[in-house]
Amino acid sequence: MRHRKVGRKFGRESHQRLALFRSLCTSLVKYEKIQTTLQKAKDLRRVIEKAITIAKKENALEDPRLPGYFHAIHDREIVGRDAIKKYLSNLKKETRDKFEKYLEDPAKNEKPESVIQFLASNRNAGKAPAKSVEKDIIGKDRIGRYTTSLEKEKKEKLRAFLANPTTAPKPEFVVNYNDNNKKQPILKVRIDPNKPFGAPKILRIEGILTKLVTRIAPRFKDVNGGYTRIYKLKQRRGDAADIAVIEFTR
């Protein structure tokens, strides 16, 4: 008999089951809707609802019990243009478009919910505005890096000009372009020292705990339990296991 023994074994030892449910809880908070087997979904609901109940309390981020429910709990800091681009390339198209629009002009565009902070360093902060200066960018690689660092509109104008310098209109920030040496072309541009080329950028993304406490738990402030629901799907091909979708009710 298995009286007063809650939960399934899933053919795993205790530490393996703990890792399994930490992974499932992390995925559910990250995507807010996941697909798994019906039995795992039922046991997952029991675990994740305990975590949400803790997250609803005051100072939940300081509660030592909460990190035990998840993997990769900390906020993420992405430093540098290349790292930010790599992060954006893994997002869905709709989400990626929102991020790119925000990063082009953070002052005007709406900030995505998962972004905590975006920092573009200004080396001349606190100094008087300096006059624009001319700079030679030599070589295809350096010209390419400079082009990708520009805003979308300027980037498109410069790419069109570099593709056909004789007929395309020259952008206002370009002084001269010399491509006599195909291997080492020279692009002379006018640069604003107040917005230096190559300045490091930092994008801070919320972690699992921050999202749970600040965005998911407040939805259930006036609800005691019943934070998730399960939809049963068809059986899985091969082993005929029952498949289900589990998601938050709000």
* Residues 54-66: b if buried by 16+ CB within 10 A, e if exposed: ebbeeebeeeeeb
Virtual torsion, Cα 196, 198, 199, 200, nearest 10 deg: 170
Q: What average pLDDT does the segment 20-44 reach?
A: 95
Q: Give the mean model confidence (pLDDT) for residues 21-27.
A: 95
What does the pLDDT average to over 51-76?
91
pLDDT digits (tens, 9 = 90+) for 160-194: 888 888 888 888 888 888 887 777 888 888 876 55
**Maximum CA pair distance of the chain?**
86
Q: Residue 36: which pLDDT band, with cuts at 50, 70 and 90?
A: very high
For domain 14-73+208-248, give the fold.
50s Ribosomal Protein L17; Chain: A, (3.90.1030)
From 15-29, 102-116, 120-134, 202-216, the region with the lowest mean pLDDT? 120-134
pLDDT tens string 194-247: 555 555 678 899 999 999 999 999 999 999 989 999 999 999 998 999 999 999
**How is the chain split into domains, by residue range?**
14-73+208-248, 76-124+200-205, 133-140+151-191
